[in-house]
Each structure stands twice: as C-alpha cells, then as structure tokens.
Structure 1
Amino acid sequence: MSEPAHTDKLSVTIPADLADELRSRAGRGNVSAYVTQALVRQLEHDRLGDLLAELAEVHGPVTDEELARARAEWPER
C-alpha cells in the first residue's frame, strides 16, 4: 500500500486489551499503518455489501438453484 498524499490524524478509543494486542502485532511504530490496512479492508467489505444489496434490490434475491450452480462451479478449498 502506498503512502497517501494527505493524511488526517484521528483519535479513537478502544479497549485496553485490544490496544495491547494491536501494539504487539503491529509494533509500536507501525500502529497507524496496521489500522489503515484494516480500515481499507473493512471499507472494501462494506462497499461489497452495498453492491450486493443493490443487486438484490434490482434483480431480486439469489435463489437456492442459482446458489447451488455457483457452488458447483467453485471448487472447495
């Protein structure tokens, strides 16, 4: 991930045990980068959910038959 041209400094409040694990995993100097990457993934996930909701609104929900066909085309891991 490249460094953004402009950054904003934010303040967040999180539980102490979560902050401890975050520092442990990210390293003290890399907390902002770690959180930024997590936020990017979450926002992508949210936008995908928005798209799925829009598609369901336009085309209706996925039927059991459509889901079965899709699963048959994608091998299990």
Structure 2
Amino acid sequence: MGEPLRSDKMSITVPSDVAAELRARAGQGNVSAYITHALVRQLEHDRLGDLVAELREFHGPVTEEELAAARAEWPRS
C-alpha cells in the first residue's frame, strides 16, 4: 500500500456570503474537499497558462490563419 497523503492545515478568510454558499454546496463536512478540488483545478489552469506563455515566447503568437485552420479542424457537435 502507498504512503498516506500528507495534508497541511490552512486558515483562509472569505466573505460571509461566499462561505454560506460554499457550505450549502459542499455540505458542512465536505468543505475542505470542495476547496481542495477547486484549488487543484485552478493550479492546473495556472500551469496551462504558464505553458501557453512559454510556447508563445518560443514560437511567437498564434496567427489568425493558424487559429482559423485549427477551428476548421475542430469537431462540431
């Protein structure tokens, strides 16, 4: 069996209305899991943004022609 995941206890401050909606959506006992899931998604988003910036720096910006070609190949639902 693998090692147990290590957790760090943190304290955050949020507006009362946000906290109330969070508790309503997550359930009182699942607030930490809800916030962890949201943070993981945000960190993935941030890393993707870092990659896009790195690629743009290396290859230059995407041209309108490249964007149009990519959109033409994208499947439509």
- RMSD, aligned CA: 1.0
Partner of 1:7: 7
Query: Where do 5+ consecutive residues of structure 2 fail to align?
Result: none
Q: Deviations over 1:24-63 (max 9, x none)?
A: 0000000000000000000000000000000000000000
Rounded Cα–Cα distance in structure 2 between residues aligned with 1:5 and 1:75 = 39
- Bigger RCO of structures 1 and 2 (CA < 8 A, at least 6 apart): 1
Kindly tell me the number of residue pairs found equivalent between the two proteins.
74
Query: Where do 5+ consecutive residues of structure 1 fail to align?
Result: none
Residue 48 (structure 2) pairs with residue 34 (structure 1): no
Structure 2 length-normalised TM: 0.92
Query: Identity of paired residues, percent?
Result: 73
